[in-house]
Each structure stands twice: as C-alpha cells, then as structure tokens.
Amino acid sequence: MILSKKIQVLKPSAVQALSARAKEQTAQGKDVVNLALGEPTWECFEPIKDTAMQSIQKGCSHYAPAVGRKDLRQAIAKNINQHLNLNYDFKNVTVSIGAKFCLFSALQTLADPTDEVLIPAPYWVSYPSMVDLIGAQNVIVETDTTTHKLTADILKKYITDKSKILILNSPNNPTGAVHSIEELKSIGEVIKTHPRLCVLSDDIYNRMVIDNPPDSFAPHLLQACPELKDRVICINAASKNYAMPGWRLGWAVAPVPVVQAMSSLQSQTVSSAPTISQMAMVPTFDNTEEDVQKTHQLIKEKKQTMCQALSSIQEINFQEPQGAFYLWPNVESLFGRKFKNHPIQSSMDVCTLLSQHFSLFAVPGEEFGRAGYIRLYFAVPDRDIEKCADRIKDFISQTK
Ligand code: PMP
Ligand code: GLU
C-alpha cells in the first residue's frame, strides 16, 4: 500500500516517540528516568473523578454536540472572562479533543495553501507538522537567542502580505519563557498594523507562572490589547492545569464564525470530544481551584529542586524557567567531545547517548527548532531529579 505524499514525510511527534522508547526500556527492566514527556505525573483532582462517576450513573454514552456541550461552553466562557475581563458568550467557545486538535482545527479553518503561519522558535514540537499537514507555509521566527522571546522588532521582520497566523505560546513549551504584559502590548501594536494577521494563543500553561501568586493567570495578549479580540483564538485544555491529559479535552475561544467553522470541521472528522470528559469538566473550574493552586506550589518546588540539582554541573547552562514545567539547558559546551568514541556534535547526540547509556530521556532542542539545548520535564519525584543530575554528571565525566 502506498502512503500519501503528505504522510510519507510526516515525522511522529518526537516527544511521543521518545516516551515510547522510554517505556520499552522500562519493560526491559531498566531503571528509566523519563523526562521527555511533558505530562503531569500526578492524578487528576478528586472532584473531577467524582463528577465523572456521577456522569456515568446519569448517562453519558451518547455523542455530544460537535461544537461541545452548552454547559461546558458556558463554564469555559465564564472562566476566560474572569481571567481576561472580557465578555465572551458560550457561542464563542468550541470544545475538542485536547489542545492538539483545537490547534489543528483552527489552523485548518484559517490557513490556505499560500498563507504563512509564523511560528516563533523554540516552538512546541507539533506546530510545524500541523502546518505541513494542512498544506500551509511554515515560517519559523528566530526569537531572541538569550530570552527565547518574540519581540515586536523581530515580528516586524517576518511579517509579509502572506502572513495569516501567528502562534503565541506563553508560558512557553519548551523554554518556560513568559511574556510580560508590556511585551505583549508591543507585539499587539505590530499585529494591529497588519489587519490580515490572526493569532493562535496557546494558553495551555496559563496557570503555571512559577513566581507569580498561585491564583494568578499568565499575562495575555487580550489583556494587553483587548481590541484584537476579533483576531485572536485562545486555545486551552484540561491536560496541564487540571492534570487530565488522557481525558482528551481542549477548547478554543474565538469569534463566532470561526467557532462555527471549527465545529463543522469537527462534525465531519472526530464528531465531538468525549461526552464523559466534557461532563466531568463542567464544575472543575469552580471546585478544583485549591488543587490548581497546590499544583502551582508543587511546580515551584520542583523547579527549585531541579535548578539546584543541575547548578553544580559546569557544562550545563540554564536560566530558571518562569513558567510551565520544563528546564531548557544549553549543552553546547559538550560539543566537540567524545563519549566512548561517539562524537558529540549536537543536542540530538547528547540525548541519544543519555538515553542509550544512562536510561535518561530528554528531548533534543532540534525538535523545538533551536539546536544546542535539551528539554527536561521536571515535575517528577525528587529521586528522579537526583538521578537525572547524577546521570548527567556521570555522562560528562566519561567524555573527553
Ligand atoms: N500546546 C502545548 C504548548 C503543549 O505543550 C501541548 C502538550 N500537551 C499541547 C498543546 C497539546 O495538549 P493536549 O494534550 O491538550 O492536546
Ligand atoms: N505537550 C507534551 C509535551 O510537549 C505532551 C506531548 C504531546 O502532546 O505530544 O511533552
């Protein structure tokens, strides 16, 4: 059977592929430390489970509307309005299968083949593949090499008449960088002068700004420039803030015609997000706030433990992440050395050697569009953080 040309060039998600390899090593009995997959290592919160159980009793076996259940859309609108001080209606909300399908569906809904999608690098691994799949043009925007942030001046250099979508992700996966309101304001001013440009704001880590108070939300483009509301699609999900990655629930908040179009696409493809996940999510914004804030504290502690553990390793240089749950160390000082006759020339080499010889899994920066770095997920048990540091030290001590 001959695969389609599009699929022949499609790479699997590096994060998922590495995690699969980590699981294989675990099955072989190895003591694996998997810091490749960025998913909460804790269970979702008890009230969510309780609502899900009750939903099963009440009956949740039927399809949900393609656009999403009204009660959930209302709850999402209320939540985003509280955060952004805006007045979205439930009709501005569509629900789908994780942030992933919301992003894919929004891209599909907005971009034609000649349209350019601006993706600031470092970017989350799946954005460029999604753009390839929908057949639009990827434009990788090289952000500031120290802060890894998009600035207004950088954005100006990349905008053309063909620019259609800018993807913003703050807090950022993989770097943990968080844009301030002032930075977002100046980016917003540039967007305003290009009326064709829309923004996909991937807000999936918006409750994880590490040094802000636990009840805070990440600064948002629509707080800085609410007048851009008709050109911004806000994407979020239950996966990170509510520790529900396997429930496959995400949402997009957008102008009504975009919501309708995404819903049509959904009705012809995946039908709807799982009914049980939607029912379980409805009261979650209100009844899990304490858990969300505890998670914030946990991430803060884990960040400190990870930074502390790696700080004594001279060859590993990093800035403390401001948000999300990843450390983004630079490993270029190892390039040019050898480990047991294997030359180390890239962060890909570093990650391959760490996984093969030390069962430590990290994602190479190349996968996020910036070589020289590796991504380490740090919201893991302390003993895994200790093992990570020990194994990196052991690895480096054997390089020449
Ligand atoms: N965006 C970013 C930045 C992510 O890190 C992830 C990873 N989960 C997603 C989107 C996809 O999230 P979901 O699991 O809700 O599909
Ligand atoms: N977002 C997570 C990560 O970057 C999960 C991977 C995925 O969704 O493919 O690790």
Q: Which residue, by CA, sits nearest to atom 8 of ligand 1?
A: 239
Answer for the pair 20, 261: CB distance below 8 angstroms, yes or no: no
Q: Which residue, by CA, sits nearest to atom 12 of ligand 1?
A: 99
Does any ligand 2 atom lie closer than 6 A to the CB of residue 34?
A: no
Residue 240 Cα to ligand 2 midpoint, Å, equals 10
Residue 38 Cα to ligand 2 midpoint, Å, equals 5
Residue that has been written with the tokens 């805006």 in this structure: 86
Does any ligand 2 atom lie closer than 6 A to the CB of residue 173?
A: yes
pLDDT for the residue numbered 308 = 97
Please report, in tens digits, the pLDDT of each residue of the chain (400 residues total): 999 999 999 999 999 999 999 999 999 999 999 999 999 999 999 999 999 999 999 999 999 999 999 999 999 999 999 999 999 999 999 999 999 999 999 999 999 999 999 999 999 999 999 999 999 999 999 999 999 999 999 999 999 999 999 999 999 999 999 999 999 999 999 999 999 999 999 999 999 999 999 999 999 999 999 999 999 999 999 999 999 999 999 999 999 999 999 999 999 999 999 999 999 999 999 999 999 999 999 999 999 999 999 999 999 999 999 999 999 999 999 999 999 999 999 999 999 999 999 999 999 999 999 999 999 999 999 999 999 999 999 999 999 9
Q: Which residue, by CA, sits nearest to atom 5 of ligand 2?
A: 38
Residue 193 Cα to ligand 2 midpoint, Å, equals 33
Distances (CA, A) of 5 to 8, 73, 133, 134, 135: 5, 37, 10, 13, 12
Ligand 1: nearest atom to the Cα of 102 = 16
pLDDT for the residue numbered 207 = 97
How many residues can be counted in the chain?
Answer: 400
SS3 of residue 287 by DSSP: helix
Is the peptide bond prior to 381 cis by the omega test (within 30 degrees of 0)?
no
pLDDT for the residue numbered 356 = 96
Distances (CA, A) of 169 to 60, 99, 190: 33, 12, 17
Residue 40 Cα to ligand 1 midpoint, Å, equals 12
Q: Best substitution site from 39, 100, 202, 240 to test ligand 2's pocket, by max atoms within 8 Å of Cβ?
A: 39
Model-level pTM? 0.97
Residue 342 Cα to ligand 2 midpoint, Å, equals 29
Ligand 2: nearest atom to the Cα of 100 = 8
Q: Which residue, by CA, sits nearest to atom 1 of ligand 2?
A: 38
Closest-lying ligand to the alpha carbon of 243? 1
Q: How far is 370 from 367, CA to CA, in rounded Å? A: 7
